[in-house]
Amino acid sequence: MLSDVIELISTKEVAKFLGINEKMVYTLITEKGLPATKITGKWVFPRHLVEQWVENNTINYPEPVNSLPPYHGLLIISGSNDLLLDKAITLYNTFYPGIVAVFGNLGSMGGLRALRQNLCHVASSHLLEENESDYNFNYASKELGDMPAVCNFCRREQGIILQKGNPRGISKIADLTKPGIRIVNRPLGTGTRLLFDRELNKAGIDCEEIEGYHNEVSRHLDAGVEVLTGRADAAACIRPVASLLGLNFIPLRWERYDLLIRKERFFEKGVQLFIGLLHEESFREAAKHFEGYDTSLSGKILYPQETAKLSMSK
């Protein structure tokens, strides 16, 4: 778990860091979404958010020096973690002796960057679009330039997990600001953090009002354990973790959790075997062991909603 202490820098320090004048810093806040907050009337900037903002707005990435070698029995998946994905990887390694699938827990944005850098075959992601009705396409297009193939892994329910019996009486997201209530959070770049921050913004809540907001854990299950053991009262998390650990749950929305694959690698043997696994009864039975999963779209290739609507109208 990370410390609550974050480094705040001034407008002058941000200007020096970016190599611009201070007046331009204010323009970037209003027009380009430069992360900032006001404390006692003055703008301050969390350094790590400024650094992430620079990275997210970077274009013309250099090509990786070393390419991922052709598939020779090792399938590398990276990105957002998930309990059912762990089960699917276990099934894959059991069904296909001599073939190995491994996972790198980097968060949704980390998975896209690994895919861009040719460090993995598949990226797992659940990044909610601005229209709040679609997932991953715009992020993938911006990060990769060339749109990858998008295959649904599952749908799953996102929300807030609470201690069993909800002893703190939390019924809505605004209750997280009450004195004495402490949360644990997911890292920047994860789809869960993106959704949580969006919900806070909708409710008009300043994240600094929430105790524990800057405490981050890397996996959904880690967040669940923090709540289960009483080190946190609540956390943004998926319902399957709540069902596994016997915790209470406040639903926020069902989301799409997808696998993104570069088109030149889509027909590689390891990728095709993994997609084929999503149609197997053993995979769907594994999903039934938890509450909060829907496998009705699992294994299907998806397209942006706008494209789908155009196709339907022709």
Please give the average per-residue pLDDT across 43-60, as a whole number.
76
Query: Who contacts 213 (Cβ-Cβ below 8 Å, separation ≥6)?
Result: 183, 185, 207
Q: What is the pLDDT of residues 123-132, one digit of tens each?
A: 999 999 988 8
What are the tokens at 164? Answer: 């069993």
Whether pLDDT at 114 is above 70: yes
| pLDDT for position 60 | 54
**Cβ of 298: how many Cβ atoms within 10 Å?**
24
Residue of higher predicted confidence among 41 and 178: 178
Could you write out the three-class secondary structure of the chain? CCCCCCCEEEHHHHHHHHCCCHHHHHHHHHHHCCCCEEECCEEEEEHHHHHHHHHHCCCCCCCCCCCCCCCCCEEEEEECCCHHHHHHHHHHHHHCCCCEEEEEECHHHHHHHHHHCCCCCEEEECCECCCCCCECHHHHHHHHCCCCEEEEEEEEEEEEEECCCCCCCCCCHHHHHCCCCEEEECCCCCHHHHHHHHHHHHCCCCHHHCECCCCECCCHHHHHHHHHCCCCCEEEEEHHHHHHHCCEEEEEEEEEEEEEECHHHCCCHHHHHHHHHCCCHHHHHHHCCCCCEECCCCCCEECCHHHHHHHHHC
What average pLDDT does the segment 189-206 reach? Answer: 94
pLDDT value at 313 more than 70: no
Q: Tell me, what's the pLDDT at 305?
A: 67
pLDDT-based confidence at 46, cuts 50/70/90?
A: confident
At residue 311 the predicted structure's pLDDT band, cuts being 50, 70 and 90, is very low
Calculate mean pLDDT across residues 148-154.
97
Assess whether pLDDT exceeds 60 at residue 273: yes
**Per-residue pLDDT for 22 more than 70?**
yes
pLDDT of 48 reads 80
Categorize the per-residue pLDDT at 7 as very low, low, confident or very high, splitting at 50, 70 and 90.
Answer: confident
Question: Band of the pLDDT at 66, cuts 50, 70, 90?
Answer: low
68-82, 208-222, 290-304: lowest mean pLDDT where?
A: 68-82
Work out the average pLDDT over 45-52. Answer: 83
What pTM does this model have?
Answer: 0.79
Give the pLDDT of residue 5.
56
